Structure 1
Amino acid sequence: MTARFEDLPAQFTVRAPAKINLHLGVGAPREDGYHPLLTVYQAVGLHDDVTVRPAPDWSVEVAVPDWMDAGQLPRLEDNIVTRAADLLAAHHGVPRTGAVDVVKAIPVAGGMAGGSADAAAALVALDRLWGTGTTDEDLLRIAAELGSDVPFALIGGSALGTGRGELVQRVEDAGTWWWVAVPSDRGLSTPQVYRHFDELSPHAPAQPPPADDLIAALASGVPEALAAALHNDLQEPAIALRPELGDLLDRGEAAGALRGLISGSGPTCVFLCSSPDHAREVAATLADPDGGGEHPTVLVANGAVSGAHLVEYA
Structure 2
Amino acid sequence: MTLPPDQVSVRAPAKINLQLRVGAPRSDGFHPLATVYQAVGLYDDLTVREAAEWSVSLAGDEWVDLSAVPDTGENIAIRAGRALAAYHGLERSARIEIRKGIPVAGGMAGGSADAAAALVALDRLWDLRTSDHDLLALAATLGSDVPFALVGGTAVGSGRGELVEPLTDHGEWWWVCRFSQEGLSTPKMYADYDRDVPCPPEPVIEEALLDALAGGDAEDLADALGNDLQAVAFARRPDLAAAADDGLDAGAVAALLSGSGPTVLFLCRNADHARTVAGEMIARGHDRVAAVPAPVAGAHVLPKEPKL
Q: Structure 1 length normalisation: TM-score?
A: 0.95
From 252, 256, 268, the counterpart of 1:261: 256
Alignment partner, residue 37 of structure 2: 41
TM-fit CA distance, 1:8: 2.3
Alignment partner, residue 243 of structure 1: 238
Mapped to 2, the partners of 1:153 and 1:239 lie a distance apart of 27
Mapped to 1, the partners of 2:169 and 2:24 lie a distance apart of 29
Moved more, 159-168 or 8-17: 8-17
Alignment pair present for 1:296 and 2:291: no
Query: Helix, strand or coil for the counterpart of 1:22?
Result: strand
Query: Helix, strand or coil for the counterpart of 1:216?
Result: helix
Mapped to 2, the partners of 1:262 and 1:42 lie a distance apart of 13
Aligned ranges 1:270-309 → 2 under 5 Å: 270-288=265-283, 293-309=284-300
Mapped to 2, the partners of 1:107 and 1:294 lie a distance apart of 19
TM-fit CA distance, 1:216: 0.9
Mapped to 1, the partners of 2:77 and 2:115 lie a distance apart of 5
* CA contact 2:57–2:71 (8 Å) conserved in 1: no
From 34, 39, 55, the counterpart of 1:59: 55
> Which letter does structure 2 place at the counterpart of 1:300?
A
Mapped to 2, the partners of 1:96 and 1:186 lie a distance apart of 38
Query: Helix, strand or coil for the counterpart of 1:54?
Result: strand
Unaligned 5+ segments in structure 2 are none
Query: Helix, strand or coil for the counterpart of 2:291?
Result: strand
Mapped to 2, the partners of 1:74 and 1:266 lie a distance apart of 20
Alignment pair present for 1:106 and 2:102: yes
Mapped to 1, the partners of 2:267 and 2:219 lie a distance apart of 9
Number of residues of Structure 1 aligned to a counterpart in Structure 2: 305
Query: Helix, strand or coil for the counterpart of 2:209?
Result: helix
Mapped to 2, the partners of 1:57 and 1:35 lie a distance apart of 36
Alignment partner, residue 229 of structure 2: 234
> Which letter does structure 1 place at the counterpart of 2:35?
T
**Cα deviation 1:207-251 (Å, max 9, x = unaligned):** 213321111110010000001100000101111111111111010
Mapped to 2, the partners of 1:185 and 1:210 lie a distance apart of 31
> Which letter does structure 2 place at the counterpart of 1:170?
P
Aligned ranges 1:1-314 → 2 under 5 Å: 7-205=3-201, 207-288=202-283, 293-313=284-304
Q: CA RMSD in A?
A: 1.3
* CA contact 1:9–1:313 (8 Å) conserved in 2: no
Mapped to 1, the partners of 2:28 and 2:227 lie a distance apart of 23
TM-fit CA distance, 1:75: 4.1
* CA contact 1:38–1:162 (8 Å) conserved in 2: yes
Mapped to 1, the partners of 2:204 and 2:40 lie a distance apart of 25
* CA contact 2:55–2:73 (8 Å) conserved in 1: no
Mapped to 2, the partners of 1:73 and 1:104 lie a distance apart of 10
Mapped to 1, the partners of 2:28 and 2:266 lie a distance apart of 34
* CA contact 1:174–1:219 (8 Å) conserved in 2: yes
> Which letter does structure 1 place at the counterpart of 2:184?
L
Unaligned 5+ segments in structure 1 are none
**Cα deviation 1:122-178 (Å, max 9, x = unaligned):** 000001111211111000000000111100000000000000011110111011000
Residue identity (%): 55
Query: Helix, strand or coil for the counterpart of 2:171?
Result: coil
Mapped to 2, the partners of 1:126 and 1:209 lie a distance apart of 36
Mapped to 1, the partners of 2:248 and 2:70 lie a distance apart of 34
* CA contact 1:61–1:101 (8 Å) conserved in 2: yes
